[in-house]
Each structure stands twice: as structure tokens, then as C-alpha cells.
Structure 1
Amino acid sequence: MWIVKIGGSLNTHPLLQEWLALLTECGGGRVILVCGGGAFADAVRHAQAHWRISDLSAHNMAVLAMAQTAYLMHGLNPALQLTRSRADIHRVLHKGQTALWLPFELQRKRASDRTNWDVTSDSIALDLALSLNAERLVLVKSCAIDPTLSLSELGEQGIVDQRFGALSEGAAFPIDVVHCAEVGRVRALLLGGGRYVA
């Protein structure tokens, strides 16, 4: 089982449809797609800055921003199967399809160390990968990636969120941070592995 997180900066990118096609054609039975918030999350940041609402309120709005992007992805490629729970995810993968995660379960009534902008969809995708004992986590970005940098250094540069490096310590699976032009590389990785086994 793989988690592939597509950054919200790809929401209007010309390669987006190619990525979605790859994940449905080669990721069936294996891939769970997690979406970044993109412009929807930027609108949350703007609203919080304007109205000074709490981080908890902004967190819950940002979760909805991720869901909006997921609905966008589904609209572009209806072969992606919307899922709301772990049970949904397992059902979709067992059917040989690609799961598209709606993260509504992450909405919170109380603030915590995870309900702020230090933890974004990158770390949320990592949390999902850890909880599902994933084989691999792939983060797809629209910016250039220096392959010599550690995950913590990528956090310092703002390519992944600030908490990602620490949260990834001890992960039992490879984590790839790739540029969106590396569709072929990820295709080769996907074709090199098997299908979902519970």
C-alpha cells in the first residue's frame, strides 16, 4: 500500500491529469491519494489573517480545503474512489481501485499540537501512512527538489512542513519527495511492485 500526496500547488498544473491517470492506471489496488489544500487552503490563511480566528478554526477549515481538492481530483478523474474511513480505503483497495481520501475525520473540537500551520497536508499524509503501515510515501511537489537535502532540511526550506522531518523519524518505509515532472520515475516504481494484500 502506497500513500501518494499531490501538493495543492498542482491544482491548476498541466501535469495534474497525467498524475491522476497514472494513479488510476498503475495504482489500482495499491495507492491512496491524499490531496493538498492549494488555493482553498490559501483562502483559509487569508481569512485567518483578516479575522484573527483561532488555529483550531483554521485547522478545521484547512481540512475542508483538502476535501475540496479531493472533490476536484474526483471531478477530473471519476475512476478515483472517494473514501472517508480506513474501512472505505481497504474496501476500495481490495476491489483493485485507487482510493482518494476525504480527511473529514481530522476535524477537531479541541486544539492540540496538530491543529496549526506547522502541520500541513504533508504531515497528515505521513500520519496516514504510519497508521496504515504503508509500503511507501510519495510527496509530489511543483517546486525543484534538491535530492541531497534531508527531510528536515526540506522542512527548513519550506518544501515540506516544519514538523515533517521529526515526524518521519523511525518511519519503516521509504519517503520520496519528487518534482511533478517525475511522472515516469513514479510510474516505474509503481510497476515494480505488487498489489494490495491485507
Structure 2
Amino acid sequence: MDWVVKVGGSLFPENSVKLAKAISESTEEKIMIICGGGSFANQIREYDDHMNFSATATHESAITCMDIVGRLLADKIPDAEAVYDLNSAKSLANKNKIPILLPSMLMRYLDPLEHSWNVTSDSISFYISQILQAKLLIATDVDGIYTRIPSAKDAKLINEISAKKLLSFGETSIDTSLSELLIEFGSNCYVVNGKYPERTLSIINACVDVDNTQYTLVRGD
């Protein structure tokens, strides 16, 4: 597997379908998609704020939301198929198809990460990319990591940043646990706006024009 592309739940449904179709039609790289839980997972978080469920119950329920979004996305992409395990994902990728991983069974079996809202689909996607020895790209609904909240007037896009420095930012478009994992494993990831599939494709196909492609590279060194 060359890439794991985490398609943020904020892109679902229209933009995630558009992005996944573009990936399936425009690259020869072996790619696996993992979906964020989107509004389904956000609803779990709201319930938790009100009822204070156990960390394990909310962690596993939020991952199940990733399954739901992934299953629905796979239904709209002719060359994609939902899978529950990595061997099936590799087999599909070798046939030039796009596996969309439904991660609940795998994560319940391996249980490698903290049960916390600090761990979201970003960290889960990174962990799985490490198993596959694949690069990670996170497609979200903003252009990357900003110096401030993206909607702020003076917010500026950061083209490249260390994960260590990013930890001092607090909440950004990726979860805090991901920065810690990037440091631990000495790995990198890209953060890009999934509303513009050409940006994702330019990174995947290694034809990035630094002056014209908006993204953030987060370094784990």
C-alpha cells in the first residue's frame, strides 16, 4: 500500500464522494481510504457531554461511526469496496481498486490507542498507515494547519511544521494524539483541503507545485 487517505467526516457526503471518485480515476498509486465519523461521531460526543458514558463505550461507538460513513461512501464509488481487514485491502489495491477500511473490528482486536476524545480517526488512520508502511494524507475541510483559527482575519496557512511545535497549538484541524504519534514514530503526514481533489492528487502523484498547492506537511522529526 502506498497511501492511506483519511477522508474527514466533515467532507461527507458530497465532497467525500467527489474526492474518492477522483482518487479512483486519477492515480496508479495503491491507496486505501479511511473515513472520519462525521456528524454521527459528533452526535456521540454530544450524548457523552450530557450523559458521561465510559471512555470505552464512546471510543468504540465513534469508531463504529467511521464504519457507517465508510460503508456509505463505498456504495457511491464503482471501483471501491468496503473491507474489514488489511489483507482484503491489499488484495483489492493489487487489483487497482480502492479499499475503504471499516476499522471497528481491527481496532477492537488490536486496541492500540487510548480510549479518549483526544484520539480520533486521524490517529487511527496513522496507526493503520504504520502497519501498512504507507504514507498518510488527511483530507479535511480546511486548507491545512493555520497560525490561528482558519476563520480569523489574520490566520495564515503553514506550509510545513514540526509535530512538536504543533502540539503547542492545542486544537487544530487534526487531533492532538496524532502529533504525539508522529513524534513517537518519526513519521510525517500531509493535511490538505479535500474539497479540491486536485490538491490531494498532486501530493499522491508526487507532482506538488509548492507555490500553487495549498497544504501542510506535519513532520515527526
Q: TM-score range by the shorter chain?
A: 0.7 to 0.9
Q: Is the 8 A contact 2:137 2:190 kept in 1?
A: yes
TM-score by length of 2: 0.76
TM-score by length of 1: 0.84
For residues 167 and 116 of structure 1, what CA distance do their matches in structure 2 show? 14
Q: Which has the higher strand share?
A: 2
Write the mapping of 1:56-135 to structure 2, written as runs, cut at 5 A: 56-104=56-104, 105-107=106-108, 114-134=114-134
Counterpart residue identity of residue 2, structure 1 = W
Over residues 55-83 of structure 1, what are the superposed CA-to-partner deviations in whole Å (9 max), with x where a residue is unaligned? 10001101110001101211222421111
Pair 1:187-2:214 in alignment: no
Counterpart residue identity of residue 161, structure 1 = D
Q: What is the aligned-residue identity percentage?
A: 22
Q: Is the 8 A contact 2:11 2:195 kept in 1?
A: no
Could you say if the C-alpha distance between residues 188 and 159 of structure 1 is closer, same or farther in structure 2, counting changes exceeding 3 Å?
Answer: closer
Q: Is the 8 A contact 1:26 1:190 kept in 2?
A: no
Could you say if the C-alpha distance between residues 74 and 88 of structure 1 is closer, same or farther in structure 2, counting changes exceeding 3 Å?
Answer: same
Name the counterpart of 1:24: 24
Could you say if the C-alpha distance between residues 119 and 147 of structure 1 is closer, same or farther in structure 2, counting changes exceeding 3 Å?
Answer: same
Count, aligned residues: 190
Report the RMSD for the aligned CA atoms in angstroms: 2.5
Q: Which has the higher contact order (CA 8 A, sep 6+)?
A: 1
Could you say if the C-alpha distance between residues 182 and 192 of structure 1 is closer, same or farther in structure 2, counting changes exceeding 3 Å?
Answer: same
Q: Is the 8 A contact 2:67 2:102 kept in 1?
A: yes
Q: Is the 8 A contact 2:19 2:195 kept in 1?
A: no
